[in-house]
Amino acid sequence: MAPANRSLPWSFTGSGRGGLATVDIMSISFLVGQMRVRLAGKTDVGQVRALNEDNLLVAKDKPLCVVADGMGGHACGEVASRIAVETIDRFYRDTEADVPSNWPFPMPKVQTELQRMTTAVKLANSRIYWTASQDTQKKGMGCTIDAIFFDKNRTYIGHVGDSRVYRLRNGHLEQITEDHSLLNDYRKIRDMSTDEIENFPHKNVVVRGLGLSEHVSVEILMDSYQLGDLFLLCSDGLNDMLSDEQIANLLIRAQDGLDAAATALIDSANAAGGRDNITVLLAQVEAP
């Protein structure tokens, strides 16, 4: 499978038509402050879909990674998710050496990075929306997005939609992001039983996504990371097939590195039915 854009050799899309159904990004690591961050990812078309509309990114020159789950069908979702990962990657490269706009009284580093992530995701939204407005066949296309950037002792996460970011710390798996979905909105209104959640008729309807409107509200999360933390970014093709407990157990039992862990997650989701495209991206905080 060729890269989605030859100038961005770590940005890939997997396709069930005219290309490979599975794409692996082998682990790559970066020294970040006093620690090392190792990244690896995999996307798979699943057992039911003919086309993989997911895209993932592991940047070749910085600890930045992105998962995007396309929406719109007829290959348009794949276009939207590809635009998203390429735009965020290029924006981070173009702004690497930027002087803050309020020079000579620059913002604190934290505020600069929060603004940088917000702008990157909003720019991706604008480019998807503009592309759809120029082509009637792409009208309504969009995607979810989860992007994470590691800076000295901190993570910056940009989140829109129902793809997820988890963190495994000391054997405990925590969902860091909140699904922007109709189901989650209902759960905020009233308590729902396990059966009600499982049989909710609009379970996969997102209430927020890139490209669906001219402007988008981006959820930005910042946290401190620790030695041993393992972050998982995934499309809903993983967590719809596997419970959080199953995901945690697979991550804890993985002894052969991130590449093997990504494969184990994909294989387990496919064994459970693989009803959707499945994308996983792992980021491990290691000793230098």
- Which region among 2-16, 29-43, 95-109, 119-133 has the lowest average model confidence (pLDDT)? 2-16
Q: Report the C-alpha gap between 127 and 10 in whole angstroms.
A: 20
Task: Tell me the mean pLDDT in the region 37-44.
Answer: 96
Q: pLDDT value at position 40?
A: 95
State the Cα–Cα distance between residues 197 and 232, nearest whole angstrom: 23
What pLDDT, in 10s, does the model give residues 78-127?
Answer: 999 999 999 999 999 999 876 555 556 666 788 889 999 999 999 999 99
CATH number at residue 136: 3.60.40.10
Q: Which residues of 66-99 are buried (b: 16+ CB within 10 A; e: fewer)?
A: bbbbbbbeebbbbbbbbbbbbbbbbbbeeeeeee
Q: Residue 74 pLDDT > 70, yes or no? A: no
Q: Give CA 45 to chain center in angstroms.
A: 16
Tell me whether residue 5 is in a domain. no
Instruction: Pick the range with the lowest mean pLDDT from 46-60, 100-114, 132-146.
Output: 100-114
Contact between residue 237 and residue 46 where contact means Cβ atoms under 8 Å apart:
yes
Spatial separation of the C-alpha atoms in residues 243 and 175, rounded to whole Å: 12
- The secondary element (H helix, E strand) that includes residue 222 is strand 219-224
Q: What pLDDT is attached to residue 24?
A: 85
Q: Judge whether 3 lies within some domain.
A: no
Is residue 4, in this structure, part of any structural domain at all? no
**Residue 214 domain flag:** yes
CB 288 within 8 A of CB 35: yes
Q: What is the domain extent for residue 98?
A: 11-286
Residue 2, domain member (yes or no): no
Domain membership flag for residue 6: no
> Which structure tokens are listed for 212?
């669906």
Considering its fold, how many domains does the chain have in total? 1
- Helix (H/G/I), strand (E/B), else coil: 109: helix
Alpha carbon distance 54, 144 (integer Å): 9
pLDDT recorded at residue 45 = 95
Name the residue type at position 127: R
